[in-house]
Amino acid sequence: MPAADGASAAAAQDVASPPVPPIPSAAPPPYTIKGSVAEMDAKLVVCDPDGPPVAGAGVTGIFAPESPPSREIRDLSYLVFGICIVIFVVVQGFLVVAIVRGVRARRAANRSAEEVSDEPVQIYGSIPIEIAWTVIPSIIVFVLTMVTIRTIRDIDITTAPEDSLEVVVIGHQWWWEFRYPGPDGEVVTANEMHVPVGRPVWLRLESADVIHSFWVPRLAGKMDLIPGRTNYTWFSADRKGIFLGQCAEYCGTQHAHMLIRVYADEPAEFETWLAEQRKPAVVDPSVEAGRRVFAEYACLNCHTIDGLSDGMFGPNLTHLASRNTIGSGFIPLDRDNLRAWIDDPNQLKPGCNMPSLKLDPTELDAVTDYLMTLH
Amino acid sequence: MQWAISVDHKKLAMMYIGAGLIFFLVGGIEAAFMRLQLAQAGNEVVDPATFNQLFTMHGTTMVFLVGMPILLGFGNYLIPLMVGARDMAFPRLNAFGFWLFIFGGLLLYFSYVGADGLYGAGTAPDVGWFAYAPLTSRTFSRGNSTDYWILGILVSGFGSMTTAINFIATILCMRCPGMKLMRMPMIAWMMLVVAFLVLVAIPILTAAQAMLLFDRTLGAHFFDPETQGSAILWQHLFWFFGHPEVYILILPAFGFVSEIMPTFSRKVLFGYPLMVAATVGIGFISLGVWAHHMFVVGLGPVLDSFFGATTFLISVPTGIKIFNWLGTMWGGRIQFTTPMLFVTGFVAMFVIGGLTGIMLATVPMTWQLSDSYFVVGHFHYVLFGGTVFGIFGALFYWFPKATGRLLDERLGKWTFWLLFIGFTLTFMPMHVSGALGMPRRVYTYEADRGFEIWNLISSIGVPVQMAGVALFLWNVVRTLRKGEVAGDDPWDAWTLEWGTSSPPPEWNFDRIPTCTSARPLWDRKHPEDPDAHYE
């Protein structure tokens, strides 16, 4: 009976020992995400009445293209759909007619069992008919092949279009890194990509770990990010707005929460954004305590904040507060959500690679306040 | 015990099919949990890790432990009976193959008990059924769950290879007197091509899995990009197996349709020689289309165009088959028994799966639709609407031969309509959610993208399908107890298996039959107008 013994011993100790001040529990309270990205996006759209709708059906649909590659794919899809629907109607039509006629013939034969012969006429084949249904599909297939190859050649270009903006996209388990190389220094951000409207964007796709796939359906078809290999793809947003997408190649536990947000800004806005991002991190003396927490704990091993740390494993946080979301695009960024996330990321995104550092509530508040100043 | 030590092809076949049906229930339950989780955005029925195990196990089970064994089981049962032989060419090898399959399947499922080794017990593989490198490397897949996936499939793969050798030997060497190759039942042709495809494709998978096992346990670097290994090499090897595998899973079902449709249309199969040519053509072309699974890998415009073209090309022989079946029904006297319902459903569903296949052969469309729910819808139309409907047709058609009793027709028709409606509810909406941008293999999805209604409809189809399967099982139990006695030839059919008793004796035929045409029993029933006249 060791269990009972232990219990009674503990009870005895309880009585004997003086009351101790409560130690802050190591287990974080249960958290839920406050608000939703959809609601947030709806508000963002209100601020920009000219933008395309962000919420609602078709927000990631392939039939609502806003960029040349996806538009060309949509047009080709209509053609192929059209051909397939004709084939569908013809084949299923023949099937239905064959069934109706066959069932009638069966009933007729059943009614007059003696008069008609035992079995219907046996037809073993017909060379002309069989040639017809070999040749006609071959012609259709030839046409489809030709238009397909033409579209492939239009979209799958091997060199960057003129005057394009180059963005390096690096897939991580389970977030996106975007790097904007440039003569004035590289800008690094995560999960939310800004691009100028109307200018081709040349994406250089790499992976830090396993295979991912970059898919923003309204801008372009998907392309894999493969470790040990560099792929390229491109798009050019037709209009201002937020274009959503997500990782399309199964990449492990949180594949479902590896969302992409592409903000297409007016060129001037984009340049402003880029200049802001290029600045070093804000140093606000009022949140010095939080800055110290960040620097003293393991945060800095994984996260870069310009001028403070250079960790590479997690998203760059230099301008975290300029983003709308955390957790790779599925949690609206506000103080409560950020605090909950830092306290225990695995509650909001089970299986993610960021550990809970078990900060005490004061440290947690301090580091959250600090990060919220990083505009 | 009689069953455990049996080398009789009929007993082995029934064990293959029985075990396959048990795995079918298991894989179906896994799918039901996934659909429950996805019925609404943000559901928490299962956690993400469990969900990833569910789709991995569902896919692996349905392909390797349901499709393969049931189809090979039918081959095992039917080939000797239909070519007029007393057993397979190598009966003991046959039993060996069956037990390897059972062992492989149990090994895979043992992962639910002990796979994670030191990291804690009870973790099934979670790398997806095509297990892309480097997600399968030790870095990203710790513990032993991936090793169970490798070993379970590797073992059952050896079983499939031995069975393929047996099929080829039996079909080529053991046909009864008079059965020339061009007089074989169509299903024998299908099984012959399948057997060759198994022999070409499965060793590639086995080799790739052995390489992966070396990577994981011996420190090799075949698929490890960090040390100049190649993640894409795995995809090439896997799909060089994987695409012929699709035809391994569909050709036997083509065979079922080609046997069942003539019987219940009361007409000879239309265009037998072209059908044979199309089958062999599919066999060859299927070896040259594998990279259409890799259109988003970035292989470049030349390779993408080539594999797009070969994929389009394969639709020609496939289309020929569909037209030949229509030609068979045309002008017939159609009797809608349950098997005929299932094979007609097969044709209708397979046409849809084929047409979405044409869309996916259109490379730029695949750039959008690859790895989306559209693809999930597409291949379920082929493998469920196609293969599984074909299997149900075959079960209803040959059940009386194997047991001597006819499955209940009324229950059978209910089964068909429940499965047909449930199937359509579940898989048709997936095309829409995929086109709306929903990727596959996500354990949940965002609420603002318009996916919800389509996912809800998909999930509603599940209980309907489950009711259909439950009715089928009840039908089997009831029929075995007190079903209508079938007699030797309940369908008035024309191939050799209907010329012996139901169930057939262990030696199949009291006297080895002789064969004068592709329909030996037609010739016997219609001596005034035998098929031999038209050859």
How much is the ipTM here? 0.93
Q: State how many domains chain B has.
A: 1
Asked, for residue B17, whether it belongs to a domain, the answer is yes
Per residue in B293-321, pLDDT (tens digit) is 999 999 999 999 999 999 999 999 999 99
Residues 146-165 of chain B with CB under 8 A from chain A are none
Asked, for residue B324, whether it belongs to a domain, the answer is yes
Compare CB distances from A121 to B272, B309, B331 and report the shortest one's residue: B331
Residues 225-244 of chain A with CB under 8 A from chain B are 226-229, 231-232, 244
CATH number for position B401: 1.20.210.10
Return d(Cα B273, Cα A134) in angstroms, integer: 13
pLDDT of residue A118: 75
Compare CB distances from A252 to B140, B232, B267 and report the shortest one's residue: B140
Compare CB distances from B267 to A76, A122, A257 and report the shortest one's residue: A122
Give how far B323 is from chain A: nearest CA, Å: 7
Using a 10 angstrom Cβ sphere, with 0-12 exposed, 13-18 middle and 19 or more buried, the burial of residue B70 is: buried
Q: Which of the four pLDDT bands, split at 50, 70 and 90, describes residue B533?
A: confident
Contacts of B445 in chain A (CB under 8 A): 256
Return d(Cα B381, Cα B387) in angstroms, integer: 9
Q: Which of the four pLDDT bands, split at 50, 70 and 90, describes residue A114?
A: low
Compare CB distances from B348 to A92, A105, A330 and report the shortest one's residue: A92
* Model confidence at A5: pLDDT above 80: no
What percentage of chain B carries pLDDT values higher than 70? 98
CA-nearest of A190, A252, A195, A249 to A218 is A195
* Model confidence at B325: pLDDT above 90: yes
Return d(Cα A117, Cα B331) in angstroms, integer: 14
pLDDT of residue B297: 96
Subunit contact B359:A80, Cβ cutoff 8 A: yes
pLDDT of residue A37: 87
Subunit contact B534:A151, Cβ cutoff 8 A: no
Average pLDDT over residues B368-388: 96
Compare CB distances from B297 to A103, A121, A226 and report the shortest one's residue: A226
Residue of B nearest to A209 (CA): B134
Per residue in A296-310, pLDDT (tens digit) is 999 999 999 998 999
Strands (E), A156-256: 165-172, 175-180, 187-190, 192-196, 201-207, 212-214, 223-225, 231-235, 241-246
* Model confidence at A45: pLDDT above 70: no
Q: Which of the four pLDDT bands, split at 50, 70 and 90, describes residue B464?
A: very high
Per residue in A207-263, pLDDT (tens digit) is 999 999 999 999 999 999 999 999 999 999 998 888 999 999 999 999 999 999 999
Contacts of A211 in chain B (CB under 8 A): 132, 134-135, 231
Asked, for residue B205, whether it belongs to a domain, the answer is yes
Average pLDDT over residues B478-502: 94
Q: Decide if B292 contacts B360 (C-beta within 8 A).
A: yes
- A262 in contact with chain B, both atoms CB, cutoff 8 A: no
Average pLDDT over residues A332-348: 94
* Model confidence at A11: pLDDT above 50: no
Contacts of A77 in chain B (CB under 8 A): 359, 362, 365, 368
Using a 10 angstrom Cβ sphere, with 0-12 exposed, 13-18 middle and 19 or more buried, the burial of residue A78 is: exposed
Per residue in B46-72, pLDDT (tens digit) is 999 999 999 999 999 999 999 999 999
Compare CB distances from A253 to B49, B330, B437 and report the shortest one's residue: B49
pLDDT of residue A111: 81
Asked, for residue B237, whether it belongs to a domain, the answer is yes
Average pLDDT over residues B460-481: 97
**Element counts in chain A: helices (H) and strands (E):** 10, 14
Subunit contact A228:B228, Cβ cutoff 8 A: yes
Asked, for residue B16, whether it belongs to a domain, the answer is yes
Residue of B nearest to A108 (CA): B333
- A328 in contact with chain B, both atoms CB, cutoff 8 A: no
Q: Is the bond leading into A181 cis (omega within 30 degrees of zero)?
A: no
**Mind listing the domains of chain A with CATH numbers?**
31-60+168-375 (2.60.40.420), 68-155 (1.10.287.90)
Listing DSSP states for A61-80 in one string gives -TTS--SHHHHHHHHHHHHH
pLDDT of residue A158: 86
Per residue in A184-201, pLDDT (tens digit) is 889 999 999 999 999 999
Average pLDDT over residues B16-23: 97
Per residue in B131-180, pLDDT (tens digit) is 999 999 999 998 888 999 999 999 999 999 999 999 999 999 999 999 99
Subunit contact A350:B48, Cβ cutoff 8 A: yes
- CA–CA distances in Å: residue B121 to residues A334, B140, B293, B299: 39, 18, 34, 40
Residues 298-337 of chain B with CB under 8 A from chain A are 298, 300-301, 304-305, 308-309, 312-313, 315-316, 319-320, 322-324, 326-327, 329-336
Q: Which of the four pLDDT bands, split at 50, 70 and 90, describes residue B408?
A: very high
Asked, for residue B376, whether it belongs to a domain, the answer is yes
* Model confidence at A1: pLDDT above 50: no
Compare CB distances from B534 to A59, A118, A124 and report the shortest one's residue: A124
Asked, for residue B108, whether it belongs to a domain, the answer is yes
Listing DSSP states for A143-184 in one string gives HHHHHHHHHHHHH--SSPPTTPEEEEEEEETTEEEEEE--TT
The residue range of the domain holding B36 is 9-534
**pTM exceeds 0.90, yes or no:** yes
Asked, for residue B45, whether it belongs to a domain, the answer is yes
Q: How many CB contacts within 8 angstroms connect chain A with chain B?
A: 303
Subunit contact A123:B359, Cβ cutoff 8 A: no
The 3-state DSSP class for residue A307 equals coil
What percentage of chain B carries pLDDT values higher than 90? 90
